[in-house]
Amino acid sequence: MRIERLSAKAEDYLETILRLSETPRGARTGDIAAALDVQPSTVSAALKSLKEQGLAEYTPYGAVGLTPKGRQVAEDIAGRHVSLRRFFTETLGLSQEEAELAACGMEHDATPLVLDRMGLLGDFLRQNPALLGQWHAARATAKGERAPGVESGLDELPPGVRAVVVGIDVDSGLRKRLVEMGVTPGVLIAVERVAPLGDPIAVEVRGYRLSMRKAEAARIRVKWRPGLI
Amino acid sequence: MRIERLSAKAEDYLETILRLSETPRGARTGDIAAALDVQPSTVSAALKSLKEQGLAEYTPYGAVGLTPKGRQVAEDIAGRHVSLRRFFTETLGLSQEEAELAACGMEHDATPLVLDRMGLLGDFLRQNPALLGQWHAARATAKGERAPGVESGLDELPPGVRAVVVGIDVDSGLRKRLVEMGVTPGVLIAVERVAPLGDPIAVEVRGYRLSMRKAEAARIRVKWRPGLI
DNA sequence: TCGAAATGTTTGAGGACCCAAACAATAGCA
DNA sequence: TGCTATTGTTTGGGTCCTCAAACATTTCGA
Ligand SMILES: [Mn+2]
Ligand SMILES: [Mn+2]
Ligand SMILES: [Mn+2]
Ligand SMILES: [Mn+2]
């Protein structure tokens, strides 16, 4: 039984409830409405429907939660969402915003095998840093977006690709702080990973790992070094 | 104007009408219904709606066609569909059936940039046959699907990956015909491309190009040769 | 040519979403 | 402890998509 697939909308409601119910505020009708860009009255109706299907439990005016069955579906969708977003950002080199949008739309139709292979392809490329750099350089030049070796902000450097620091576009205390952390012109630098919302960014310099805001990373000019370790 | 995006269903109707209207039969209500797995009455309603939106033109009981505007949308969707399917089959190595299904579901939410980068990534891998072979070997072994160098049917060999013919599983006239075409044990063989429906398959042997049915290709046992030209 | 068979449309109805407006409950403040 | 602002629900109404059944048209064989 339960061969019936849930609608994309129902899946989005469950995914949102799961995410919000993990916050101290819990999942409130108004917050769900804001997250999904619908009116609170629409959420009320959706909650009633999810409750009837045995996916959500809540008492009117009270807290919203998921049943074990609902949680299972929600976690599956959330997993698809992050798999796709990771592929779009880390492998395809898209922005967090674009990746987020496309992932939340495509997550409902991506089959397990598709997600699996995307993950494997990302692993395959990352496993060889030189290769990863070649790929990102190739795709960056393909559409005239950015010539290889040309400068960009550190915030635009894809995770795993190495670059050389060219300069720091700021003359405030930030510059001093960065220099103290070893971010000086000529040094090799790489982005390790970017938080889901694009902030903060984990950076590696001189064997050290440091965390910085996206806005700060944007002030660090770098030159891509595809092919380097 | 027309910032309004069409619904996924409307896009599917347009895509189907475009495809069918290119056949000698033309786009008939019943054929559209069969293609989209809905009742003819549902198609009638959909056609009326598309007509009101200036996307389709038809006279009751007559032929269905697309307006220039409708054709534009339909061609866009059809393009997304083939881009995704191509990525799923040629780059991710999925079956035609799986790719078709996932592509037609995800095409409605894939952004232009996502499609673009997927295409570039496929080009990047194909441009270096050794690399393509490494990737397909890696993903084939990753899930214990198939060990590298182990035999499979030619029908399961991803396009662009080279292999060596090990034997032919048949003792009919087919064997003779294949041998005449140069398909003998020990020879290098590769799949050039697979038709959208999985049949026929274009194969390259000894510098010649030949076409065979998927069922025939399945009888040819090959051993993958990742890394070869 | 002239029915039947095949094909297509209309009608009536229901489910899934969505909203605005009216209504109800809760939370927070005096 | 009230009283009000905030939050949540209900109600009534739409759109989109779907189907079954009744009806209309076209096609095709006798
Ligand atoms: Mn979603
Ligand atoms: Mn999502
Ligand atoms: Mn589709
Ligand atoms: Mn499609």
Q: Which residues of A touch B (CB under 8 A)?
A: 88, 91-94, 98, 101-102, 105-106, 108-111, 113-114, 116-118, 120-121, 124, 131, 134-135, 138-139, 142-143
Any bridge partners for residue B189, and if so which? B163, B205
Same domain flag for B18 and B126: yes
* Residue A2, pLDDT score: 44
- Domains contained in chain A, number: 2
Q: How far is the CA of B69 from the C1' of D22 (A)?
A: 35
**Whole-angstrom distance between the N-terminal and C-terminal Cα of chain A?**
52
The answer to whether the CB of A181 falls within 8 A of the CB of A208 is yes
Q: State how far residue B172 is from chain A, nearest Cα, in angstroms.
A: 36
Same domain, B197 and B220: yes
Q: What is the pLDDT of residue B20?
A: 95
User: Which tens digits make up the pLDDT trace of B140-153?
Assistant: 877 655 544 557 78
Alpha carbon distance B216, B200 (integer Å): 10
In a domain, A6, yes or no: yes
Alpha-carbon distance of B180 to B202, in angstroms, equals 17
In 3D space, the residue among A26, A90, A34 whose CA is nearest the CA of residue A56 turns out to be A26
Query: Is A5 part of any domain?
Result: yes
Residue A178 included in any domain: yes
Per the CB < 8 A criterion, the answer to whether A94 and B117 are in contact is yes
A187 and A85 belong to one structural domain: no
Same domain for A139 and A159, yes or no, is no
**Could you give the C-alpha distances from B26 to A207, B21, B58, B66, B220, in angstroms and in order?**
65, 4, 12, 12, 38
Q: Is there a single domain that holds both residue B31 and residue B107?
A: yes
Whether B157 and B128 map to the same domain: the answer is: no
Measured CA to CA, the distance from residue A106 to residue B114 in angstroms comes to 11
CA-based nearest residue to B64, from B13, B14, B17, B15: B17
Residues in B closer than 8 angstroms to A108, CB to CB, are: 105
CA angle A225, A170, A221 (to 5 degrees): 10
Confidence band for B226, pLDDT divided at 50, 70 and 90: low
User: pLDDT tens per residue, chain A (229 residues)?
Assistant: 445 689 999 999 999 999 999 998 999 999 999 999 999 999 999 999 999 999 999 998 988 999 999 999 999 999 999 999 999 999 999 988 999 999 999 999 999 999 999 999 999 998 887 888 889 888 887 765 554 455 778 888 877 777 888 888 877 677 888 888 888 888 888 888 777 777 788 888 887 888 888 888 888 888 877 544 3
User: How far apart are the C-alpha atoms of B204 and B188, rounded to whole Å?
Assistant: 9
Could you give the CA distance from residue A192 to residue A160 in angstroms, rounded to a whole number? 6
Cβ–Cβ under 8 Å, residues B192 and B209: yes
Is B9 inside a domain boundary?
A: yes
Q: Where are the alpha helices (DSSP H) in chain B?
A: 8-21, 29-36, 40-52, 68-86, 96-106, 112-126, 129-142, 173-180, 214-218
Contact list, A124 vs chain B (CB under 8 Å): 134-135, 138-139
pTM of the model: 0.78
For residue B45, count other CB atoms closer than 10 A to its CB: 12
Write out the residue range of the structural domain in which residue B201 sits. Answer: 150-224
pLDDT for the residue B190: 86
